[in-house]
């Protein structure tokens, strides 16, 4: 492998000749061999490209950067957003807690790629300087939290929320489709009074509605950007009006309604917007876990379980048991939910590390956030397509379980009283008989009255 010499304030560093990064990136790559290379999410890298482009336009508008340099920065940023330069971002999450090295990775790649675009070599005078031009009016301390919010906002509105809306719509449709199917309810995993399968699915719809509301509410906080605070929140080395204008450019380039944060000191030192938004992701995970567990238990069997609903048969379920089919989509969703709940613990702890003017757990915070949002979005798409849309009722089994339930006796409470109704249920359970048989034998209810009063369709 051939190398070239790059310099920073600590001296010379060898960098692979074909790579666009510079000395500071190489030092980080060498000093932090923790986890897989390039584990910094590309969503963050692309978010950096949006903000670097916006910063260049703002600096030009405010008279501190030439149009030629702006256009070069913009051209490279567009290449980054399009994914053409992914191989030049090799750094891991586990680096400095401010994300400085990833900020410089982007700065160096933009500067060195610009050198290529104008046909100059590594040894020629640079057309762009990573710190003086690409990073102008910026600090890692305000660029990284800005990239965090851009990436978090985009993945929620472009991945997680659309998938959630689709799954919610499926459950709404199923609720209407199943509204007349009376089934036995269960509390404490034991038989309870009847409800309809549609009512049960309406509960799942509402769970997803609450999760959707919380995610959408969190977007307003994620839309606030730290850029313009520079090192500690004071905006040192920025031209007047920079923070507001740069947010407008980011909004224009991303197509999302970003604004400047009202208080840059909070924006650099704390990440409550990430905490709140990830809490909404955790709530979604809790809801999905409940839904997926209910569905796989309702579908258990096919002959020795509950078996009230039928799930799509997507793949063989066993390497030893022929013909076995498992609720694999439910299992995948619940594993994702466990991961998201674990991520929330890391996000919570990371957000506590805002000492004085800077939180120094930024890369870990956003990495966990992006993983949670992406996993939930992908899992909901998969679950919706390969499971939820294909759920069908097993009407024969539903009717069998309803007719065999002892808790239909609850309908007699207001007719003969709780204690006599309990005696009927307990006697029928002990003798293996029906509620009607024991009610009539005990002399508490006539056969005609029983048929009139104990009607599952009237109990929902």
- Does the annotation place 67 within a ligand binding site? no
Q: Is 98 annotated as a binding residue?
A: yes
Residue 100 annotated as binding site: yes
- How far apart, in whole angstroms, are the C-alpha atoms of residue 175 and residue 161? 21
The annotation status of 99 as a binding-site residue, yes or no, is yes
121 is in an annotated binding site: no
| Residue 325 annotated as part of some ligand binding site | yes
| DSSP class per residue in 195-263 | EEHHHHHHHHHHHHHHHHHHHHHHHHHHTEE-TT-TTTSS-TT--TTHHHHHHHHHHHHHTS--EE-S-
User: Coil, strand or helix: which one is 360?
Assistant: coil
Question: Does 223 appear as a known binding residue?
Answer: no
* Whether 318 is catalytic: yes
Active site residue 39: no
326 marked among binding-site residues: yes
DSSP state of 233: S
- Residue 286 marked as a ligand binder: no
Catalytic annotation, pick one of 318, 355, 429, 446: 318
Selection from 230, 67, 240, 21 nearest residue 136 by Cα: 230
Residue 382 φ/ψ region, left for φ over 0, alpha for ψ in the -120 to 50 degree band, beta for the rest: alpha
**CA neighbor of 225 nearest in space, from 65, 54, 72, 346:** 54
What is the C-alpha to C-alpha distance for residues 66 and 107, in angstroms, rounded to an integer?
17
Task: Round to whole Å and give the CA distance between 292 and 330.
Answer: 5
- Locate 374 and state its tokens: 């992406």
Helix (H) or strand (E) holding 119, with range, is none
Binding residues: 98-100, 139-141, 187, 319, 324-326
Residues taking part in catalysis? 188, 318
Binding residues for substrate: 98-100, 139-141, 187, 319, 324-326
């Amino acid at each position: 492998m051939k190398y070239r010499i790059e310099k920073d304030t600590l001296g010379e560093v060898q960098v692979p000749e074909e790579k666009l990064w510079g000395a500071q990136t190489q030092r980080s790559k060498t000093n932090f061999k923790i986890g897989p290379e390039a584990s910094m999410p590309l969503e963050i890298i692309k978010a950096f490209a949006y903000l670097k482009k916006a910063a260049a336009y703002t600096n030009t508008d405010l008279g501190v950067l030439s149009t030629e340099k702006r256009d070069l920065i913009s051209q490279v940023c567009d290449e980054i957003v399009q994914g053409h330069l992914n191989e030049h971002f090799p750094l891991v999450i586990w680096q400095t807690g401010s994300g400085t090295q990833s900020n410089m990775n982007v700065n160096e790649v933009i500067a060195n790629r610009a050198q290529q675009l104008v046909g100059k070599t590594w040894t020629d005078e640079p057309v762009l300087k990573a710190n003086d031009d690409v990073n102008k009016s910026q600090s890692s301390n305000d660029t990284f939290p800005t990239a965090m919010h851009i990436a978090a906002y985009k993945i929620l509105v472009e991945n997680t929320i659309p998938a959630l809306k689709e799954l919610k719509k499926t459950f709404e449709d199923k609720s209407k489709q199943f509204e007349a199917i009376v089934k036995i309810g269960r509390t404490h995993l034991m038989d309870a009074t009847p409800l309809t399968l549609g009512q049960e699915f309406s509960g799942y719809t509402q769970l997803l509605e609450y999760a959707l509301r919380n995610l959408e509410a969190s977007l307003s906080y994620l839309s606030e950007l730290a850029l313009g605070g520079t090192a500690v929140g004071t905006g040192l080395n920025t031209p007047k009006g920079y923070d507001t204008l740069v947010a407008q450019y980011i909004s224009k380039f991303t197509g999302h309604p970003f604004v400047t944060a009202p208080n840059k000191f909070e924006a650099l030192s704390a990440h409550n917007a990430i905490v709140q938004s990830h809490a909404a992701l955790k709530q979604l995970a809790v809801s999905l876990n409940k839904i997926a567990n209910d569905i796989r238990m309702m579908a258990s069997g096919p002959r020795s379980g509950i078996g009230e609903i039928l799930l799509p048969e997507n793949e063989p379920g066993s390497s030893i048991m022929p013909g076995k089919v498992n609720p694999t989509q439910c299992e995948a969703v619940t594993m994702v939910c466990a991961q998201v709940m674990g991520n929330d613990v890391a996000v919570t702890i990371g957000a506590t590390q805002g000492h004085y003017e800077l939180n120094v757990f930024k890369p870990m915070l956003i990495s966990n956030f992006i993983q949670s949002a992406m996993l939930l979005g992908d899992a909901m798409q998969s679950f919706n397509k390969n499971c939820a849309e294909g759920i069908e009722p097993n009407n024969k089994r539903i009717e069998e379980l309803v007719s065999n339930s002892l808790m239909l006796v609850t309908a007699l409470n207001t007719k003969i009283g709780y204690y006599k109704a309990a005696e009927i249920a307990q006697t029928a359970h002990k003798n293996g008989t029906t509620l009607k048989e024991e009610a009539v034998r005990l002399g508490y209810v006539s056969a005609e009255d029983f048929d009139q009063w104990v009607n599952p369709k009237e109990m929902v």
